[in-house]
Amino acid sequence: MKRLCLLSLIVLLVLLIFFNAFPGVSPAQDEITAISSSALVAFPFAITFNLEAEASTQIVDIDLKYRLDRLSVIPVTWRVDVDFTPGPTVDASWTWDMLETGGLPPGTELEYWWLIEDAAGQKIETSPSTLKYDDLRYDWNSLTSEQVTLYWYQGNQSFAQQLMGATEDALQRLTSDTGLSLEQLAKIYIYASFEDLRGALVYPQEWTGGIAFSDYIVIAIGISPDNLIWGKRAMVHELSHLVVHQAVFGPFGLIPTWLDEGLALYAEGELRSDLREQFDEAISRNELISVRSLSSSFPTDPDEARLSYAESFSLVDFLLDEYGSEKMSDLLGVFKAGSSYDDALIQVYGFDMDGLDAQWRASLGLSHELALAGVMATSL
């Protein structure tokens, strides 16, 4: 009995020495425990994050931290100070209201974790959990190639295969003609109608038929099985925006609108007949919009907007036909490095936007004097 008491005393003394020598170490009963952690998606309007935790003393502070899987020059982690009632056992929640931030595309992936602190100053950080922000209102099918995963819920396998074929043809065309290619796997969500698509967006425009979320490498587009011809072109157009965005991605990578939209139209193939007709009419009247004007946002007037798209196609076609794909790739590389529009063109081609305007107009059959007159008139 004496030996047992002596042994117990020795163990107690060892424990006291240990905790005095290492004051940062607490007995097990003082630890903070995260009992459960979860997230509930209410697509497309909200994500609610929930935590249940306990400690031997009061929990006084809880922060939620999360990180989005998206293209970013510097990885960004967001931190939210969560409101809750302090106590030894707590339930805390925070709702990310997409109406305040503009929403996320379907298929977005994010990591989240919790930072918990008690009244004694002890802190724990939970292990990250992964959440996929899926649109679970529909039963999605999927088809994957080397560069694209296609999701759809209406239409048969042939419908999806035809769309996938269009993406593969467009990517091959972009690579061979411009040197551009997808650097990361793209996700394309095919909604069965424009109405279904707009129901997946927080603040859709009434004319929205497709949208490229370039930072997330995601496309959402409305294509019904009976609108396949339009759907192929529209999907390829948005896919090109992803490719171009990846090519110039960086802290400075801004490119003129005519180049971005021109490459997207070029990826579709031949220019649409209605755009071609309006373009030819503008040439005959010498009413082309200047390259410099096309470098910023396009006009809101429907006729002028259509002409802007047609001219953008023609400009890209001219540069590729006259100077080749290697120069186009060089141009995008210079834009990625942060050059101005004029400086980038001078560095690669030897002329600025006005010089491009004059050469391009001359290539369309306009005389040199008429071309210069057109530049001056449309630049005013």
Question: What does the H/E/C string look like for 276-326?
Answer: HHHHHHHHHCCCCCCCCHHHCCCCCCHHHHHHHHHHHHHHHHHHHHHHCHH
The residue from 113, 133, 153 where one domain ends is: 133
Total domains in the chain come to 3
DSSP annotation of 64 reads E
109 in a domain, yes or no? yes
Q: Assess whether 243 and 150 both reside in one domain.
A: yes
Q: Calculate the alpha carbon distances from 106 to 191, 236, 249 in Å.
A: 11, 19, 22
15 in a domain, yes or no? no
Compute the CA torsion angle 175, 181, 185, 186 (nearest 10 deg). Answer: -80
- Across the chain, mean pLDDT equals 89
| H and E: helices and strands count for the chain | 12, 12
Q: Assess whether 220 and 117 both reside in one domain.
A: no
Q: Assess whether 176 and 288 both reside in one domain.
A: no
20 in a domain, yes or no? no
Q: Assess whether 83 and 151 both reside in one domain.
A: no
Q: Assess whether 215 and 236 both reside in one domain.
A: yes
**pLDDT score for 32:** 96
The residue from 133, 160, 192 where one domain ends is: 133
- CATH number for 216: 3.40.30.160
Q: What percent of the chain stands above pLDDT 90?
A: 78
The residue from 231, 249, 267 where one domain ends is: 249
Q: Is 334 helix (H, G, I), strand (E, B) or coil?
A: helix
Compute the CA torsion angle 100, 101, 103, 107 (nearest 10 deg). Answer: -130
200 in a domain, yes or no? yes
185 in a domain, yes or no? yes
Range of the domain at 108: 28-133
pLDDT digits (tens, 9 = 90+) for 79-131: 999 999 999 999 999 999 999 999 999 999 999 999 999 999 999 999 999 99
C-alpha span between 288 and 304 (Å, rounded): 10
Mean pLDDT across 71-86 = 94
Q: Assess whether 71 and 181 both reside in one domain.
A: no
Residue closest to 109 by CA, chosen among 82, 128, 81: 128
What are phi and psi for residue 195, nearest 5 degrees? -65, -45
17 in a domain, yes or no? no
Mean pLDDT across 293-307 = 93
Angle at 128 (CA atoms; ends 126, 129), nearest 5 degrees: 115
pLDDT digits (tens, 9 = 90+) for 14-60: 444 444 444 444 444 458 999 999 999 999 999 999 999 999 999 99
Inform me whether the pLDDT recorded for 157 exceeds 70: yes
Buried b (16+ CB within 10 A) or exposed e, 286-319: eebbbbbbbeeebeeeeeeebbbbbbbbbbbbbb
95 in a domain, yes or no? yes
Burial grade of 215 (CB within 10 A; 0-12, 13-18, 19 or more): middle
The two tokens of residue 108 are 């977005």
Q: Assess whether 210 and 102 both reside in one domain.
A: no
* Angle separating helix axes 302-323 and 257-268, nearest 10 degrees: 80
Q: Assess whether 266 and 362 both reside in one domain.
A: yes
Q: Assess whether 95 and 53 both reside in one domain.
A: yes
Mean pLDDT across 356-361 = 96
C-alpha span between 144 and 185 (Å, rounded): 10
Q: Assess whether 221 and 317 both reside in one domain.
A: no
Q: Assess whether 147 and 244 both reside in one domain.
A: yes
Buried b (16+ CB within 10 A) or exposed e, 91-124: ebbbebebeeeebbbbbbebebbbbbbbeeebee
**pLDDT score for 350:** 97
By the 8 A CB rule, do 264 and 247 touch?
Answer: no
**pLDDT score for 316:** 97
Q: Taking the model in full, what pTM does it have?
A: 0.84
111 in a domain, yes or no? yes
Q: Assess whether 299 and 340 both reside in one domain.
A: yes
Residue closest to 122 by CA, chosen among 200, 214, 32: 32
Banded model confidence at residue 205, pLDDT cuts 50, 70, 90: confident
- CATH number for 99: 2.60.40.10
Which residues have C-beta within 8 Å of that of residue 203, sequence separation ≥ 6? 102, 103
